[in-house]
Amino acid sequence: MSDRPAHGAPSGSLTEGLLERLQSSARTPAIGAADGARTPAIVFAATAERAAAGLVRRGVHPGDVVAVLAPPSPDRLLAVFTALAAGAVVLPLVQDDRSAAAEVLTTTDARLLLAAEELAPEALELADRSRVRQVVAFGQAAETTPFDELLLPGPEGAEPDRGDGAGESGLMTYVADARSVRTALHGQEELLGRFRTLDADLALTHQDTVALDASMPEAERVVLAAVALWRGASVVASPGEADTDLAALGVTVQGSPGPARIG
């Protein structure tokens, strides 16, 4: 375990201060997809902040539940970071169990759903089966609000009110069985505690590239991504396909079965 001090580690939430940190660094980490497409991390963080402001302008308050329906990908990571930056409780949905997804959306009173473009029809169906009032989708999907609309500026001189922080934010996961759907809230204190542990254990630098994949627990995947970006490392958001060539993507740290260096 590294005893390196966690200088510049986030406080309050995983996303707070990330954009400013990237802006003040000469490093150029990126968010990558399994197909090799890359987005500069500073663009990713700026987009999450602007989209979070858009969510707030659309009535998302601290502690509100914002659901996410997308495969493991840069879009899913962006949706999660956006909801966290808005002070919401982000609820990533398990794609292959629609009944459980509809039930957890209803029981948590989720009113907004961020969805991948290809999953927009499924997101709209889930909205019909729950209290979700608005589906925001990446790309252009019929009957949805384009994610890019969240990036539009508000009225001149107006700043979105993100509330006083009274509502608890974090990441919610759920488990379904034949009898019920049980949820667990991973609050910011828990997420930041895990951040500090992974940060010390992995001692990431700008020379690292971290692979996330579908087999990781959601909270672990999000925290690992946050650690990587804070330390100037790049991230590959992989769907966990067996034929993904991690070496070709420059991966030095693999997220599954547990975050660890490879090679």
Look at residues 131, 126, 99 and name the one whose alpha carbon lies nearest to residue 115: 126
The angle subtended at Cα 182 by Cα 166 and Cα 103, nearest 5°, is 90
Q: Token pair for residue 167?
A: 């509502």
- What is the DSSP code (8-state) at residue 93? P
pLDDT (0 to 100) of residue 67: 98
Least confident of 112-121, 158-167, 190-199, 209-218: 158-167
Go through 120-144 and write b for each residue having 16 or more CB atoms within 10 A of its CB, e for each that does not.
bebbbebbeebebeebbbbeebeeb
What is the rounded distance in angstroms from the CA atom of residue 153 to the CA atom of residue 24? 24
CB 171 within 8 A of CB 92: yes
Rounded to two decimals, what is the model's pTM?
Answer: 0.92
Handedness of CA 189, 91, 109, 83 (dihedral sign): positive
CB 36 within 8 A of CB 250: no
Q: What pLDDT was estimated at residue 224? A: 97
80-110 pLDDT tens trace: 999 999 999 999 998 888 999 999 999 999 9
What confidence score (pLDDT) does residue 240 get? 62
Which pLDDT score is estimated for 205? 95
Is it the case that residue 26 has pLDDT exceeding 80?
yes
In the chain, the amino acid numbered 101 is A
Report pLDDT for 12. Answer: 87
What is the spatial distance between Cα 8 and Cα 17, in angstroms, rounded to a whole number?
A: 9
Q: 219 and 198 in contact (C-beta within 8 Å)? A: no
Which has more confidence, 25 or 151? 151
pLDDT > 70 fraction of the chain, expressed in percent and rounded: 90
Strand order in the sheet with 260-261: 38-40, 30-33, 234-237, 209-212, 253-254, 260-261
Residues 219/194, Cβ–Cβ less than 8 Å: yes
Q: What mean pLDDT, rounded, does the chain reach?
A: 89
What are residue 31's DSSP bridge partners?
Answer: 39, 235
Q: How far apart are CA 79 and CA 92, in angstroms?
A: 9
With 0-12 CB in 10 A as exposed, 13-18 as middle and 19+ as buried, what is 149?
exposed
- What pLDDT band is residue 5 in, cutting at 50, 70 and 90? very low
In the prediction, which pLDDT does 85 show?
95
Q: What is the predicted pLDDT for the residue at 70? A: 95
